[in-house]
């Protein structure tokens, strides 16, 4: 076992150590608890960056520890070119959210539990991307849900947070149960929980069984992606959750659904088996894109506007996956990363706006550009970014998704409609920016300056979005290598 194999479980172990420290340190103040959380998440992120070098050398890093041998279950983690993209995105988003939380009031009470749950939330996502054993995968998958539900239930805003948390839990858990049915079915038929073994043997299952598993996997993971009409948990959960939790939900957790689709139905079954579902994925993606945009236009709550934009953006990703083309799926993977950056930025901006104005109704906000110039620039970058304006990142991923749609030959009409539907994104983004920052000031009381603790991470994310848009080469390379792991030379 080399040094890289030893480092790999550190990505999951270090957050656990952080959680233990926080649970023991009950008297920790918010800043102290935040320091433990940020240090733990930061170390996990650094390990992932170190292992990125190992990937370039070896192609993958594997760690295996025997766990339940009589059930053919082991604690097996694998880092490859597919998982690294999702892992780094999740770790970076969570780290940014934790830093941003220092300027928020959330977590001032029971600070140790708050940051412990943030670490567990991140741990669930990290473990999901690394798990090579289906049993381990599902444990991490459910940990992600439980931690986020508790964060909403305990620290959420409004009197209805308990109902929102329950709704979020029930709906997303139903999707998880569909995934669980597939995992157990494959375990029973193959006789092992090792996902690598499934890749070899899954295509020997009967065509009807394959169709059943593909359908259940896609629907189950689409719930986590919040694809219409499976999205009904998202607007309320994002609205009620504390802003750092909302950032993680929107910018990181939604991507786990995309990873699940790539990791299971796409990796386990042939393109010929998936083909009958492709047109329906493209249709669902188009509907979700348009519906999310229209709802963002109809909403007046600035947090719900950005929340509904997630429904729309996930539609692009599902559409790209449905094309079953190299460019379309590369675009979807890139869109996961770009969407994470843009969505983190926009929710950070919204958090500052609410802090400054104590107002969430967009009709009661206006004219902030003159007083908060740096915030205005960040908001403009976010609005242009989600609109797909070059040279910002989403332009690159949408270009690939649309090109994949035309390459697919499945339906040029759907691709044209998706391209036209993207104009709605421009409309709601400009509406958001114009009503909040232009015109006359409508808010009676405004803070003198935007809190520096909130503004610094917002500026940093804005700069990162510009950088990622100007230098898309590494991300495109990772996406290509990740798809090569799944499909080999079949595309």
**Percent of the chain beyond pLDDT 70?**
99
For 270-282, letters b (16+ CB in 10 Å) and e give eeebbeebbeebb
Residue 321 makes CB contacts below 8 A (sequence gap 6+) with 258, 261, 262, 266, 281, 285, 328, 329, 332
Instruction: Inform me whether the pLDDT recorded for 69 exceeds 90.
Output: no
Task: Indicate the pTM of the whole model.
Answer: 0.93
Distance, in Å, from the CA atom of 466 to the CA atom of 463, rounded to the nearest integer, reads 5
**Pick from 204, 37, 210, 201: nearest CA to 107:** 37
For the segment 201-230, the average pLDDT, to the nearest whole number, is 93
Q: Assess contact for 49 and 60: CB atoms under 8 A.
A: no
For 435-454, write each residue's pLDDT tens digit: 998 877 777 777 777 788 89
Instruction: Inform me whether the pLDDT recorded for 426 exceeds 60.
Output: yes
Instruction: Inform me whether the pLDDT recorded for 304 exceeds 90.
Output: yes
The string of DSSP codes covering 466-491 is HHHHH--HHHHHHHHHHHHHHHTT--
- Place 489 in a pLDDT band, splitting at 50, 70 and 90: low
For 75-114, write each residue's pLDDT tens digit: 999 999 999 999 999 999 999 999 999 988 887 788 899 9
For the segment 425-434, the average pLDDT, to the nearest whole number, is 93
pLDDT of residue 374: 92
pLDDT of residue 192: 85
Tokens of 443: 């808010």
For the segment 344-355, the average pLDDT, to the nearest whole number, is 93
Q: Estimate to the nearest angstrom the gap between the alpha carbon of 271 and the chain centroid.
A: 25
Q: Give the residue carrying structure tokens 């409508």.
A: 442
For the segment 465-489, the average pLDDT, to the nearest whole number, is 86
How high is the mean pLDDT of the chain?
91
pLDDT of residue 33: 93
pLDDT of residue 491: 54
pLDDT of residue 67: 86
Please report the sign of the dihedral spanned by the C-alpha atoms of residue 211, residue 133, residue 71, residue 173: negative
For 307-341, write each residue's pLDDT tens digit: 999 999 999 999 999 999 999 999 999 999 999 99
Instruction: Inform me whether the pLDDT recorded for 136 exceeds 70.
Output: yes
Tokens of 280: 């329906």
pLDDT of residue 1: 65
**Pick from 79, 73, 76: nearest CA to 44:** 79
For 185-200, write each residue's pLDDT tens digit: 999 998 888 898 898 8
- Place 64 in a pLDDT band, splitting at 50, 70 and 90: confident
Number of Cβ atoms within 10 Å of the Cβ of 417: 17
pLDDT of residue 56: 84
Residue 325 makes CB contacts below 8 A (sequence gap 6+) with 404, 405, 407, 408, 491
For 145-177, write each residue's pLDDT tens digit: 999 999 999 998 888 899 999 999 999 999 999
Helix intervals (H) in 323-358: 326-357
pLDDT of residue 282: 94
Q: What is the DSSP letter of 364?
A: G
Helix intervals (H) in 65-160: 81-101, 111-130, 134-155
For 242-295, write each residue's pLDDT tens digit: 999 999 999 999 999 999 999 999 999 988 899 999 999 999 999 999 999 999
């Amino acid at each position: 076992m080399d040094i890289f194999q030893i480092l790999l479980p550190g990505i999951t172990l270090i957050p656990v150590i952080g959680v233990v420290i926080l649970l023991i340190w009950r008297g920790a103040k918010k800043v102290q608890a935040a320091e433990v959380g940020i240090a733990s998440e930061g170390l996990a992120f650094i390990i992932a960056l170190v292992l990125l070098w190992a990937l370039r050398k070896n192609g993958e890093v594997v760690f295996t520890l025997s766990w339940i041998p009589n059930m053919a279950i082991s604690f097996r983690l694998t880092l490859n070119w597919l998982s690294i993209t999702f892992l780094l995105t999740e770790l970076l988003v969570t780290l940014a959210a934790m830093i941003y939380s220092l300027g928020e009031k959330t977590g001032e009470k029971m600070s140790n539990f708050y940051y412990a749950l943030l670490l567990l939330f991140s741990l669930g996502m990290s473990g999901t991307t690394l798990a090579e054993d289906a049993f381990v995968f599902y444990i991490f998958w459910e940990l992600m849900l439980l931690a986020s539900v508790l964060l909403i239930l305990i620290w959420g805003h409004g009197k209805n947070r308990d109902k929102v948390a329950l709704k979020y839990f029930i709906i997303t858990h139903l999707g998880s149960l569909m995934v669980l049915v597939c995992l157990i079915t494959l375990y029973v038929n193959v006789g092992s929980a090792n996902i690598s073994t499934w890749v070899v043997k899954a295509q020997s299952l009967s065509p009807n069984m394959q169709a059943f598993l593909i359908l259940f996997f896609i629907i189950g993971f689409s719930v986590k992606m919040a694809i219409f009409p499976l999205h009904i948990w998202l607007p309320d959960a994002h609205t009620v959750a504390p802003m750092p939790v909302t950032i993680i939900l929107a910018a990181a957790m939604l991507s786990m659904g995309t990873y699940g689709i790539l990791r299971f139905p796409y990796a386990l079954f042939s393109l010929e088996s998936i083909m009958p579902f492709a047109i329906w994925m493209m249709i669902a993606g188009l509907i979700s894109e348009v519906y999310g945009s229209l709802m963002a236009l109809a909403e007046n709550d600035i947090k719900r506007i950005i929340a509904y934009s997630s429904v729309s953006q996930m539609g692009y990703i599902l559409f790209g996956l449905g094309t079953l083309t190299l460019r379309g799926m590369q675009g979807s993977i890139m869109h996961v990363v770009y969407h994470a950056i843009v969505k983190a930025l926009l929710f950070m901006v919204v958090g500052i706006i609410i802090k400054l104005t104590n107002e969430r109704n967009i009709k009661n906000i206006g004219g902030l550009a003159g007083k908060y110039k740096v915030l205005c620039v960040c908001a403009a970058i976010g609005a242009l970014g989600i609109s797909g304006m070059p040279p910002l990142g989403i332009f690159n991923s949408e270009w690939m998704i649309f090109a994949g749609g035309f390459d697919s030959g499945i339906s040029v009409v759907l691709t044209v409609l998706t391209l036209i539907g993207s104009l709605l994104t421009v409309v709601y983004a400009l509406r958001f920016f114009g009503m909040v920052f232009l015109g006359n000031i409508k808010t009676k009381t405004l803070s003198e300056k935007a809190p520096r603790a909130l503004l610094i991470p917002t500026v940093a994310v804005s700069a990162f979005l510009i950088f990622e848009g100007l230098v898309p080469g590494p991300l495109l390379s990772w996406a290509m290598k990740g798809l090569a792991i799944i499909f080999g030379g079949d595309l």
